[in-house]
Amino acid sequence: MKDSDPRIQQAAGLLAESRAAVAFTGAGISTPSGIPDFRSPETGLWARLEAAGADETQTGMIQSFGHDPQTFYERMRPLFEKIITAEPNAAHYALAELEAKGYIRAVITQNADMLHQRAGSKNVIEVHGTLAEATCISCYLVAPFRPLLEKFLEDGRTPRCEKCGGAMKPNVILTGEQLPMQAVLAAKQAMRGSDVVLVAGTSLAGGPATALMDVAYLQGSKLIIVNQTPTIMDASAEAVIHMDVVVALPAIAEIL
């Protein structure tokens, strides 16, 4: 791609020179697959869920799930319907290709939608949990979530534990819950060992994003940022690409 955008060339050059690059992704990498950013104020879904939790208990969603899992499932239905039909997009595939070719070591993601894995990424660290599995809130039995979700979308009833009948909660992090400790530690370790961090589809605001990026920045990792809108780390980045991830990431992968 001899006449590609110089910023794309620059990003590809940084990855080519790196020894230990990692990717860090957020909701913006899955919005082209039709999954809304459910934490964003624009879609409002997360805000409505938060409000519902606060009304009931003043302490957050995890408590309200325990009291009334049916309401949680009903409110999440629009998002679940989108997630179950979503397919990985060109940005997911580009990151899988970069990993397969040895340019990145891991994908740290704030998403729980499994699209990185379905695109072929092998080392995926999910810092907000995953929709691959669900856990019984009574006996902690763990089961694959997809069959439970398919049944819920059919019959509209809260998925129940096959052992004790307790409500099954998808292993995504709800407000009021601890982040998954092992995943966060693995993410910190990956950031600590990195020399380049390729940020894609996240504004880097809030949650574990700030802390993880601090780890990378403080030890001198070079940052490549691919996001439609400015992020809080733009000023600290080597390469900033305000483009759609489905255009920019495949273009970077094509050069390498």
Within positions 163 to 182, which residues make up the interface with Zn ion, using CB under 5 A? Answer: 163-164, 166
Stretch that binds Zn ion, among 14-22, 60-68, 80-88, 154-162 (CB under 5 A): 154-162
Interacting residue with Zn ion among 62, 161, 184, 199 (CB under 5 A): 161
Active site residue 116: no
Residue whose CB is less far from Zn ion, 166 or 201: 166
Question: One of 92, 116, 128, 242 is an active-site residue; which one?
Answer: 128
- 148 interacts with Zn ion by CB under 5 A: no
β pairing state of 104-109 and 222-226: unpaired
In the complex, what is the shortest distance from the CB of residue 159 to Zn ion, in angstroms, rounded to a whole number?
11
Interacting residue with Zn ion among 20, 52, 54, 141 (CB under 5 A): 141
Stretch that binds Zn ion, among 41-49, 89-97, 133-141, 196-204 (CB under 5 A): 133-141
In the complex, what is the shortest distance from the CB of residue 170 to Zn ion, in angstroms, rounded to a whole number?
15
Interacting residue with Zn ion among 139, 142, 218, 232 (CB under 5 A): 139
Stretch that binds Zn ion, among 44-52, 63-71, 161-169, 215-223 (CB under 5 A): 161-169
Residue whose CB is less far from Zn ion, 96 or 134: 134
Stretch that binds Zn ion, among 71-79, 103-111, 162-170, 205-213 (CB under 5 A): 162-170
Longest Cα pair distance anywhere in the chain, in angstroms? 61
By CB under 5 A, name the binding residues for Zn ion.
Answer: 136, 138-139, 141, 161, 163-164, 166
Which residues are part of the catalytic machinery?
128
